[in-house]
Amino acid sequence: MAQAYLTEKGNGGSEHEPSGSRFRRRLAALRGDRGIWRRGLVLAGLAVLLSLVMIFHAELPNDVGNLGSLTETFLPWLGLAVPVLLASAVYRRSATALIAILLTAAVWMNLFAGLVTDKSGGGGNLMVAAHNVDADNPDPRGTAESVAKSGADVLALTELKGSAVPVYEKALAGTYKYHAVEGTVGVWSRYPLTSSRPVDIRLGWTRAMRTTVATPEGDIGVYVAHLPSVRVKLNAGFTANQRDNSADALGSALAAEPLRKVVLLGDLNGTMNDRALSEVTSQMRSTQGAAGDGFGFSWPAQFPMARIDQIMVRGMKPEASWTLPRTGSDHLPVAARLTVKK
């Protein structure tokens, strides 16, 4: 009798009510709630809009402030809206919003779940690394020593300040016997370099180069590039025309490369989702997408939000891809292990 009294007290149950009874009572209450499908329509609409943006991001126009490229740069971060909308739907007790948000979550998982998992393997006979060292780096020597400890066989550096080049050359000389610098980019290698030359990416000064690395498994064409920066301005949106033109020129150079095995290293100032890099991404394979552990965000170093530093390959198999410890730069170094066959 006492138990029955406590269960029925106040018509709302009590802390002594068995959990199964509470669940059945609340489920019955929801079934009787006629507003469960009418509430939360705005939340449902937001969820549908978010899904459409993720599915059709390639259709977003770039005519106004390069909106499409801006969205694609930070596309994975749209997933942060899902738990916020989900909590709101539960609070509102809206079945309509809940279903729409679960579908949005499914869309995000379909696009990015493969990047969240660890796809790295244990193979590989060539390690490469790339780092935007930052022209204003207060500790170029420490940066050079840090990336040299990575064990990379081929190291590409971008945003090299002219006065700092001798510092990098001296700091890296003990690890890398061969190196070549063109303008503000350079390659350091354990293996001989030949045919080093600038690559014209339509800037008027040199921020890209090409060299041949003579590895034990044969010659590899190595490209190093630092595409122009992009800016987000209130009156102009995502200004990236110069970057886009340089990406097209780099894509043309890669298409004309005679060697079958090619590596592209550097700061492309864009993610693999950005349609503006399609001339490059359509013919090269991202090591992070193929063999990375997580998203591998590389910029800004203090709180990485985007993968704009890339290692891309053709004619080789990516085995692992990761970011290296932070240096004095505003970018994180990136590295990859590759399998190169003769």
Tokens at 122, concatenated: 């244990």
DSSP 204-267: SS--EEEEEEEETTEEEEEEEEEPPP-EEETTTEEE-HHHHHHHHHHHHHHHT---S-EEEEEE
Q: Which of 257, 157, 282, 271 is nearest to 207 (CA)?
A: 157
Beta carbons within 10 angstroms of residue 239's beta carbon = 17
Mapped onto helix, strand or coil, the DSSP state of residue 188 is: strand
Extended beta strands in 121-160, E state: 126-132, 154-158
Residue spans in the chain of domains classed CATH 3.60.10.10: 126-339
CA R_g for the chain:
26
Q: Confirm if 140 and 133 have CB atoms less than 8 A apart.
A: yes
Angle 245-333-229 (CA atoms, 0-180°, nearest 5)? 25
Give the Cα separation of 68 and 238 in Å (integer): 9
Give the Cα separation of 304 and 332 in Å (integer): 8
Question: 126-339 is classed in which CATH architecture?
Answer: 4-Layer Sandwich (3.60)
Beta carbons within 10 angstroms of residue 88's beta carbon = 18
pLDDT attached to residue 23:
56
How would you write the pLDDT of the chain (342 residues) with one tens digit per residue?
Answer: 444 433 444 444 555 566 666 656 555 555 556 678 889 999 999 999 999 999 999 899 877 767 888 899 899 999 999 999 999 999 998 999 999 999 999 999 999 988 888 999 889 999 999 999 999 999 999 999 999 999 999 999 999 999 999 999 999 999 999 999 999 999 999 999 999 999 999 999 999 999 999 999 999 999 999 999 876 554 444 557 889 999 999 999 999 999 999 999 999 999 999 998 999 999 999 999 999 999 999 999 999 999 999 999 999 999 999 999 999 999 999 999 999 998
pLDDT attached to residue 133:
98
Start-to-end C-alpha separation, the chain: 84
Q: Confirm if 268 and 247 have CB atoms less than 8 A apart.
A: yes
Give the Cα separation of 133 and 8 in Å (integer): 70
Q: Which of 250, 243, 302 is nearest to 271 (CA)?
A: 243
pLDDT attached to residue 18:
65
The single-letter code of the amino acid at 308 is I
pLDDT attached to residue 28:
56
Q: Confirm if 287 and 316 have CB atoms less than 8 A apart.
A: no
Q: Which of 324, 319, 215, 192 is nearest to 262 (CA)?
A: 215
pLDDT attached to residue 4:
41
pLDDT attached to residue 6:
38
237: left (phi over 0), alpha (psi -120 to 50) or beta: left
CB-count burial class (<10 Å; 0-12, 13-18, 19+) for 133: buried
Mapped onto helix, strand or coil, the DSSP state of residue 3 is: helix
CA 102 from chain center: how many Å? Answer: 24
| Residue partners of 293: CB distance under 8 A and separation at least 6 | 118, 119, 120, 320, 321, 322
CA 147 from chain center: how many Å? Answer: 20
Tokens at 331, concatenated: 């970018």
